[in-house]
Amino acid sequence: MTLRPEHALHTRRRGRNVGVGLLLGGFVVLVLALTVAKVTSGDFELPKAEELSQ
Amino acid sequence: MADASYTHTPQEYDTQLGDYFALLKPRVMSLVVFTAFVGLLAAPVAVNPIVAFCAILFIAVGAGASGALNMWWDADIDGVMRRTAKRPIPSGRVPAGEALALGIALSGLSVMMLGLAANLLAAALLAFTIFFYAVIYSMWLKRSTPQNIVIGGAAGAFPPVIGWVVATGSFSIEAWLMFALIFMWTPPHFWALALFMKSDYNDADVPMLTVTHGRRATRLHILVYTILLVALAICTGFTAIGGPLYLAVAVVLNTLFLKGAIDIWRRDEAVAEADGYTVEKKVFRLSLWYLFAHFGAILLEALLRPVGLGGW
């Protein structure tokens, strides 16, 4: 597959694509922060070994 | 040359991110964020700030999703009404199918994430709110009954209850009082708007009270709902979410709002038309401040409570 010059469509949609990328990145960070907040809260308990094996 | 024809089609427009954002009704979303935030902070249970931030965000996304579904369904009448003709779908900036897809995807995402961030009851309530706004209000009531605004107002009244449930995991009378405040506020707010946006609802054939029962009946309805709202808003001042500050704000604003409703009721169409619906527009603007100030006062009472100043 050969490299082709960038299509005008890519240029026109750059703002939208960058925006979607930032939103997805932000969502990943949000889920990470939420996970950290949940597992470091006082009432978080890991499931017991016998519960996992059932 | 298929690419060239694609690039040069005159009507071609690349939907921008801002167009998708406009589908989510950002102004409604800002009200949802504020009231849900107040509901969450007014609750007597502290919430981890990150969990609280995520919960409010997903409630806002859920509200936005229902807005997108509403715009998809109402695109035909939005195009007819002056106030809504520039919305993304009737103006051709977003294809209707994309709005539907965005609405469904964000609905699922917001409910799922709220369930993970907070609790299942909050998630179920958000799912019900989206269903209520998109299906019960938009698809059913809006075009079939002049009570559309009254019953549909419930959809906008749920966010503080969801915020409260995020914190406590259960319902309580205080949460339903906040619900009732928005529920009772919605009809006079929208009917004041309908009085001065007179041709819009006629053109779109939406059975607003002004169209089905006339403008005299609408003025009377505004007054009756305002009297009920005033009683509710003042009584809320004596409950666990109220306090001296809330009561002071409520007394001032309810006096002004009641005066405005009486003024609207006493006017006839000829006088209103002659002065360009000045009073109706003034009451509509006041109604925006009214809701903001009441929830702001509930928030302040909640913030002052830990230092021994809020509440009774």
* Tens digits of residue pLDDT in B133-148: 999 999 998 888 888 8
The span from the CA of B20 to the CA of B95, in Å, is 10
pLDDT exceeds cutoff 50 at B7: no
Residue A38 three-state SS: helix
Please name the fold of domain B19-171.
Answer: Tetracycline Repressor; domain 2 (1.10.357)
The model carries a pTM of 0.88
Residue B133 three-state SS: helix
The span from the CA of B36 to the CA of B54, in Å, is 12
Looking at the partner chain, which of A7, A9, A41 has a beta carbon nearest the beta carbon of B48?
A41
Name the closest residue on chain B to residue A43, using Cα atoms. Answer: B48
pLDDT exceeding 90 applies to what percent of chain B? 73
The span from the CA of B169 to the CA of B310, in Å, is 23
* CB-CB contact of B89 with B78 (8 Å): yes
Q: What is the pLDDT of residue B167?
A: 96
> Alpha carbon of A19 to those of A13, B93, B223: distances in Å?
10, 17, 47
CA distance B18 to chain A (A): 9
pLDDT exceeds cutoff 80 at B5: no
pLDDT band at A2 (very low <50, low <70, confident <90, very high): low
Q: What is the pLDDT of residues B243-293, one digit of tens each?
A: 999 999 999 999 999 999 999 999 988 888 888 889 999 999 999 999 999
pLDDT exceeds cutoff 90 at A46: no
- Report which of residues B163 and B212 the model is more confident about: B163
The span from the CA of B148 to the CA of B35, in Å, is 22
CA distance B298 to chain A (A): 27
Cβ separation B50–A37 shorter than 8 A: yes
pLDDT exceeds cutoff 70 at A1: no
Q: What is the pLDDT of residues A3-41, one digit of tens each?
A: 777 787 777 888 888 999 999 999 999 999 999 999 998
Give the mean model confidence (pLDDT) for residues B108-127: 97
> Alpha carbon of B18 to those of B15, B26, B36, B110, B307: distances in Å?
8, 11, 24, 20, 42
Q: What is the pLDDT of residue B288?
A: 95
The span from the CA of B132 to the CA of B10, in Å, is 40
Q: Is the dihedral of CA B27, B30, B111, B164 positive or negative?
A: negative
* CB-CB contact of B125 with B157 (8 Å): no
- The torsion angles phi and psi of B110, rounded to 5 degrees, stand at -65, -40
Max avg pLDDT among A16-20, B148-152, B165-169: B165-169
Q: What is the pLDDT of residue A9?
A: 78
Q: What ipTM describes this predicted complex?
A: 0.78
Looking at the partner chain, which of B14, B17, B51 has a beta carbon nearest the beta carbon of A19?
B17
Name the closest residue on chain B to residue A30, using Cα atoms. Answer: B54
For residues A44, B307, B172, B47, the Cα torsion angle rounded to the nearest 10 degrees is -20
Q: List CB contacts of B96: < 8 A, sequence separation 6 or more.
A: B72, B75, B89
Name the closest residue on chain A to residue B18, using Cα atoms. Answer: A16
- Report which of residues B289 and B149 the model is more confident about: B289
